[in-house]
Amino acid sequence: MRLVAEGLHFSYPGGDRSVLANLSFEVQSGTSAAIIGPSGSGKTTLLSVLRGLLPPQRGLFRCTDDDGLDHAPADVATWVLQTVSLLPERSVRDNVCLGAYLDGTPRDLARERAADALAVVGLADRASEPAGVLSGGEGQRVAIARALASRRPLIFADEPTGQLDASTTAAVLDAFFALASRTIVLITHDETAAARCDIVWHLVDGTLVRSEAGQKVRR
């Protein structure tokens, strides 16, 4: 899935500055890109615009498949957000399977994918427990497993490793970047995680400044 943003502008009503100012970028299909910046730089606002939750005042954002057809992000993307949304009374396995069910995956195959994904995030032994008993960090791992179990061609991940320990973070990033056919946009403040991506942008004054992967941008 190829992503193109052209001239995005966004400001909140009554705000004295543009949170996004003529922001443009392009991500080729099957490529991973990181958008990095400190708290308050506009990363969450940008993600909301890309998700279609906030309409930009100007500019456009397109998701285009390999046949040249445009799609709404909601139809082709899976999301890993900072605020985890799980069905607390359903099992951990059922919550992960939802990612596959949305793609029309048969039940047995969905459960197989869920088992594999839960093993990656270190929750294989919690699969039958209700999701409501999990801690915040464990819930984040379930959300990541749900994205891994999905076969949608685009993943948006907002601080996906913020609540994880070092070993789980490494395993999750390994799993993400093994998904060679998918386009991944990672929004983070973690430069180590960002360095795993093919492209690294810093969000600076409402626009994106590209740096080489693994290197800090010089201002």
pLDDT of residue 114: 94
pLDDT, residue 180, reads 65
For residues 112 and 96, give the distance between their C-alpha atoms in angstroms, rounded to a whole number.
11
Tokens, residue 177: 């970047």
| Tens digits of residue pLDDT in 37-96 | 888 888 889 988 998 889 999 999 999 999 999 999 988 998 888 778 899 999 999 999
Superfamily of domain 2-211: P-loop containing nucleotide triphosphate hydrolases (3.40.50.300)
Give mean pLDDT in consecutive 10-residue pieces for the chain, a chain of 219 residues. Answer: 94 86 93 88 89 91 93 90 86 92 89 92 93 88 89 88 78 76 88 89 91 47
Place of tokens 């294989």: 124
Please enumerate in sequence order all residues whose Cβ is within 8 A of that of 20, keeping only pairs 6 or more positions apart, or say none. Answer: 8, 9, 10, 11, 42, 45, 46, 49, 56, 206, 207
Q: What is the pLDDT of residue 74?
A: 87
In the chain, beta strands by DSSP E: 2-10, 20-27, 32-36, 58-64, 70-71, 77-80, 154-158, 183-188, 199-204, 207-211
The rounded distance, in Å, linking the Cα atoms of 43 and 177 is: 21
